Every structure is written in C-alpha cells, then in structure tokens.
Amino acid sequence: MANVKRRMIKVALAGNPNVGKSVIFNNLTGAHQHVGNWPGKTVDKKEGFHRVDDKVIYIVDLPGTYSLTALSVEEMIARDYIIYERPDVVVDIVDASNLERNLYLTMQLLELGANVVVALNKIDLAEKAGMRIDHRKLEEELGVPVIPTIAPKKKGMKELVEKIIELVEGNPRGYSGKTLCYEPRVERFIERLQGEVASREEITKLLNPRWVAIKLLEGDEDVIKKLSEIEGGREVIKKGMKLREEMSRELGDPEVVIADARYTVIKDIVSRTVGELKRLTASDLLDSVLLDKYLGIPIFFVILWWWFQIAFIGSAPFCDILGDGFAALGEVLTGITGHPFIDYLFFGEYGIIQGIGAVLSFVPLIMLLYFILSLLEDSGYMARAAFVMEKAMRKVGLSGRTIIPMIMGFGCNVPAVYATRIIPDENDRMIAILTNPLMLCGARLVFFSAIAAAFYGAYAGDILFSLYALGVVLAFMVATILRKTFFRGRASPFVLELPAYQKPSFKVAAVRMWDRGSMYLRKAVGIILIGLLIIGVLTATDAETLTFTTDPERSLVAAFGRSLAPIFTPLNWDWRFVVAMIFGFVAKEIVLGASAMLYGAGEEEIASRLASLYNPIVMYGYMTFILIYIPCIVTIAAIRQETGSWKWTIFAVVYGLILAYIVNLLIVTLGHLLLG
C-alpha cells in the first residue's frame, strides 16, 4: 500500500465544450499549471497538479468534445489519451442543466471502460430552471460516482478530489461498474462481436472488448487501423465488417442505430432521475435581439468597436512604458561596452534592445485583445457572432467562425492567428491563417495614419478606410482561390452549439490571457531576435569596407536596397522605400521610423517630407504594398507555429509579396492613366 500512496494519481478531465471544464481545472490546479500543445497538434494541452496531504494528483484537461468518435483531432486526442495513457480516473464534467446531451459523452466514456467520476456541474443553474436532479439515483443508474458541483463557487471540489482518491486507493464502496445495456436488437450484435474480441489476449490487454465491438459495428476507421496492427486483429475486423453489414441490412446505418440506442438509455435514465423538466428560457430574450435578422450584424459591429476601443486605450499606457523603457535602457547602456559596433547593434536606435522594446510593447495589446475575446467567448456571445455572420462568410467559402480571427486581425495578426484554433475544420483553419495577414493591423495603422494625414488632408479618413476595405476584399479573394486550389471542398458544414448565456469568469480569462501572452513571448522572441540581429548587422556594416558604419546610406542594407531598386522602378520607388519596406519585416510600425532615418528627417516631419518628394498616387501604391506584403516576423512565427509547416509559412510570405507587387503596380499604372 505504501507504494500506491506515493504514486502520483493521474486524472483526465473530459466533457463537452461550454460545461465549465476550464473553471474546474483552474480550481483544482491553481497556479500549478502549464499550457502546451498536444504532440504534433495545434490543440492546447493543459496540465497541472493538485496536492492534498501527501498525495499528488496530476491533472490533464482533455479537449472539449461532444463524443469520442474519430471525427476530429480533439476527439482522437481525448480517446487516445484514455486508451494509451490510462489515467487512473476520468472526471467527466457534465452540464446538469443540459443532462441529456451531456450524458452522450458519458456513455462513450463508459463504453471505453474508463474509470469515470461524473462531476454534475452547473447544478445551481439546473435548479434555477426548475430541474430537480436526484444525483444519488443518477449514480445508481450509471454505476459510477456522481458529485454535484458549482465550479465558479468552488462547490464540490473537495468532494470530487476525495472521490478520486477513494477510487484509486481501492475502496469504491460498491459501485457496480455495471455495463449499460442497449436495446436487445442492438445488444445482440455487440455481444456476438464482443465474444470474438474477448478471446484474443493481444487485443484485450490494450483495448476494452465491448468498446472494440461497438466501434467496429460503427465502422470506426481509427479502430480498424489500430486493430490491423495487432496480432489477430484482421480476423476480428473481418468478422466485424460482416456483422456490420448484417446489422445495416436489418436495422439501418449502424452508427445512427447505436447513437439512437445510447439516447434511448439516456432518456430512460433522465426520466428516472430528473423530477421536472422545464424549458430554459433565460436566453430567449437576448437571442431574439442579438440574432435578429436586421439588428444582429449592427450589434456585432458595435461590440467589436468597443472591444477594440477598450483594448487599444487600456493597453496604451503599458505599451508606452515598455517602448519608452527599452528606449531609455538602450540609451543608458550605450557606450558601456566601449565598442561602437556592439553599441550600435545592441543599444542603438535600431538595435536589438529597441527592437525588443518595439516587439514587447505589443504584448499588452495582444493580451488585452485576448482577454476580452475570452470574456466574449465565455459569455456565449462569440457563438452568436458566428451565427449572424455565417451567411456572408459562406458566400466566400468560409465558415461563420472565421469572422472572429479576421476581426482580431484588425488589432494584431498575432493573437488572430492563434485565435484560428476556434475553427474546427483543418482546411477552413488553414485558409483563415493564410489570409489573416491581409487584415490591416494596428502596427500598419501607425504608418498609414501619419502618411494619410500629410498626403490626403481632408480625405485621410477615406484613404484609411479604403485600405481596410482593400485588405478585406483581397482576403476574400485569396480565400476563394485557396478554396478552389489547395484546400478544395466547401466550407465545413455549419453546426454550432449556442451555449446558454452566462456571466464570464474573469479568472479564466486572465489565465487564458497569460497563457497566450507567455506563449507568444516564449515562441516568438527567438525568431524576432534572430531577425533583428540580421537586420542590425546589415545596417551597421559598410557595404564597401565591411567595417562598422553609422551611416545607413553606406550600409549593406542600402546596397541591398539599391540592388533591388530596379525591380521596384515600375512602382516609382527609390531605394529608401525598398529599405524601409525591408525594415517593416521586423514589425510594420518600423516602416515609419526607418523612412525617417533614411530620409534624415524626424518621425514628426517625415510625412510632410515625403509629401514633397512623391505624388499621392505613388504613395498610395506604396501603402498598399506595405498593407499586403510579408507579414511581420512575429506573425510569421505565429503562422509557422499554427500551420505546423514551413511550406505554408513560406507560401504566406511569397504570395503576400507577389500580390503586393501586382496591386501596387495596378494602382500606379491605372492611377497615372486616369488621373494623369
């Protein structure tokens, strides 16, 4: 027994989306948690520890799923974890106010042979809606422990932990662990196949025979694959396919029939354990307004407007402090090494320290955007936003949910690329990632607003708006093309639960914000450093002598810019534009500062200086180029991370450049033709 006590207890949290799983995970793990990715997948993996007395419970939060078929990456992760990692206990978090649908996953966890504890969450909401759930009766019916919980109030957490320990330490107090039988006509097939599976030890030591039988009848591709790799598996598959055929002849599509059988058992259980069942109506009024045919979309845009206002205004002081702080730090440190090249490279105005400052100064904005997104998601509104935008998005071959990362892109493309994780279909997600850089972000706005004011006077607002619109139109065009070429097929069918509205949890939002912010820091900083270093060295090295220079005109960057300049002659650029554009690669707000440096003007006067050198058409063309070309280095890092592929990352860079060039050329040519 001493052995067992010292051993770490392994617990997995499972449950549908929107059941309060994150809140329970946070309650249990507190600060002892870590967010990463499931190996090779872009699905968040949250793990943490809970300590009680001398025991340590390791808790992993499985992705939220409605079922355990081989439908999606999330479902595969959840069920493979249970099969291969064999957690001691699977805590199935069930939304008490939505018992019927939630028990569907419970049934599948039981089929899998997991050691289940049901956390009957949101029990307060259920009671408010007039449902009386007899949880002891439910326990008896399911044959596993059921603990009522109210996650936001931390109610039931202690009992949940006690029950986990009790189960692991082998005192299950007479839980039957019974098999829930389905209707006889279905059960007949399961039993016939189950017998066949159970006689093979190679299979049973890995997989639960009843589960294998059910999955084979359902025709689960992944189970067939798993079995074919096990000795004797092929015969079982053959037998399974024969029975499946027989079943579908007699009863119809086995998958539907078995689902039907599960729901029949569930309805039975619910009818015996739930005293009263009323319609929840709390969401009716809100939905009738927020989903209104005419009001829905305007309301969505008003909410967006506030989201951005709050994020930009709220983060501005922190952004300034970070930017100024690093600038001051650079100044203070200048001269400390006594080596001018290193000084320039690290502490100079375009050195590493300042560069890091520029990049870090975006972290508060990214975090705040994410924080508010998390609140909106939690409250149940984001699903409504997807609903109202579905029709418009579908026209361009995207699913309604794509609107959320697109809108976030107006703030910053980095959190937006991360936010594409809310899109379940892999093709939809790739298109959303690859088109996101076309959304005009806050960094580009820095340059555009300065230029627009100087060049276009009273029309500055219209010019800015036209750039936003151009980005959106191009994103839709590129999406349509990608949909017809690399990511064929239609936007995935739209099926989305609209969860009941609830008060969002600030704590969960704060935790998520921190996760995302720190992930950005960990992953992006390395790439940014390398980028800054390369550009720094190129700017500080004299092109002829290869020695240190502070004169950008003589630098390798200038030489590089001049050598590339002929390519951009049709666009009427001079080499300084080329170099400023290259600087923008690090972060697009640098384009303004870099132009200032190259034209030897201050940031305040650069716009009017440019106005004296270029005509408005050329300048507009240049702005469209800056809008479209290469995503900034941080966004590239995010794209690499989220596509998991260098190929598509490079694709994003290359298509951006080509598209930028074409659009710029069109604007300059047509502009001069039409306007002289």
Shortest spacing between CB 392 and other proteins, in angstroms: 9
Q: How many CB atoms are located within 10 Å of the residue 13 CB?
A: 24
The helix/strand/coil state of 12 is strand
How large is the C-alpha radius of gyration of the chain? Answer: 29
- Residue 248 CB: number of other CB atoms within 10 A? 16
In a 13 Å sphere around the CA of 223, the CA atoms on its Cβ side amount to 30
For 304-322, the DSSP string reads HHHHHHHHHHHHHHHHHHH
- Strand, coil or helix: what is 536? helix
Q: Output the smallest distance, CB 62 to other proteins, in A.
A: 15
Q: Which is nearer to other proteins, 379 or 615 (by Cβ)? A: 379
Return all residues near 521 (Cβ < 8 A) that are at least 6 apart.
363
Cβ proximity to other proteins, 378 vs 515, nearer residue: 378
CB of 244 to other proteins, least distance (A): 13
Residue reference for tokens 């300590």: 51
**Of the candidates 418, 392, 396, the residue with the CA atom closest to the CA atom of residue 405:** 418
User: Given the complex with other proteins, which of 124 and 542 has the nearer CB atom?
Assistant: 124
Tokens of 190: 């399961």
Q: In this complex, which beta carbon is closest to other proteins, that of residue 499 or of residue 531?
A: 499
Specify the residue, 259 or 564, whose C-beta has the smaller distance to other proteins. 259
Beta carbon nearer to other proteins, 423 or 598: 423
Measured CA to CA, the distance from residue 514 to residue 371 in angstroms comes to: 9
**Closest approach of other proteins to the CB of residue 399, in Å:** 8
Residue 332 Cβ vs other proteins, minimum distance, rounded to whole Å: 56
**Residue number with CB closer to other proteins (280 or 477):** 280
The minimum distance between CB 301 and other proteins, in angstroms, equals 17
Residue 216 or 592 having the CB closest to other proteins = 216
DSSP state of 616: H
Q: What is the smallest separation between the CB atom of 395 and other proteins, expressed in angstroms? A: 10
Closer CB to other proteins, 383 or 452, in the complex: 383
| Run of H or E residues at 13 | strand 9-15
Instruction: Find the shortest distance in angstroms from Cβ 499 to other proteins.
Output: 8
Could you tell me which residues come within 8 angstroms of residue 510 by beta carbon, excluding any fewer than 6 positions away? Answer: 371
Q: How far apart are CA 540 and CA 550, in angstroms?
A: 6
Residue (147 or 389) nearer to other proteins, CB: 389
| Rounded-to-integer distance, Cα 90 and Cα 82, Å | 8
How many Cβ atoms sit within 10 Å of the Cβ of residue 459?
Answer: 13
Shortest Å, Cβ 282 to other proteins = 11
Angle between helices 616-628 and 442-456 (to 10 degrees): 180
User: Which residue's CB is nearer to other proteins, number 297 or number 611?
Assistant: 297
* Signed CA dihedral, 140, 141, 143, 146: sign only: negative
- CB nearer to other proteins: pick between 65 and 635: 65
The residue (of 152 and 499) whose beta carbon lies closer to other proteins is: 499
Residue 565 gets the label, from left (phi > 0), alpha (psi -120 to 50) or beta, of alpha
Q: Distance between CA 364 and CA 442 in Å, rounded?
A: 13
- Minimum CB–partner distance for residue 492 and other proteins (Å): 8
- Smallest distance, other proteins to C-beta of residue 220, A: 10
Q: In the bound complex, what is the minimum distance in angstroms from residue 490's beta carbon to other proteins? A: 8
For residue 83, give every residue at least 6 positions away whose Cβ sits within 8 Å of its Cβ, in sequence order, or none.
112, 206, 207
> What residue ranges bind other proteins (CB under 8 A)?
65-67, 69, 71, 97-101, 104-105, 219, 253, 255-256, 259-260, 263-264, 279-280, 283, 287, 291, 293, 383, 386-387, 390-391, 394, 400, 493-500
| Residue 180 C-beta: closest distance to other proteins, Å | 17
Q: Are 399 and 564 in contact (CB under 8 A)?
A: no
Q: Print the SS3 string covering 193-204.
A: HHHHHHCCHHHH
- The answer to whether 121 touches 152, Cβ cutoff 8 Å, is no
Give the DSSP letter string of 80-125.
HIIIII--SEEEEEEEGGGHHHHHHHHHHHHHTT--EEEEEE-HHH
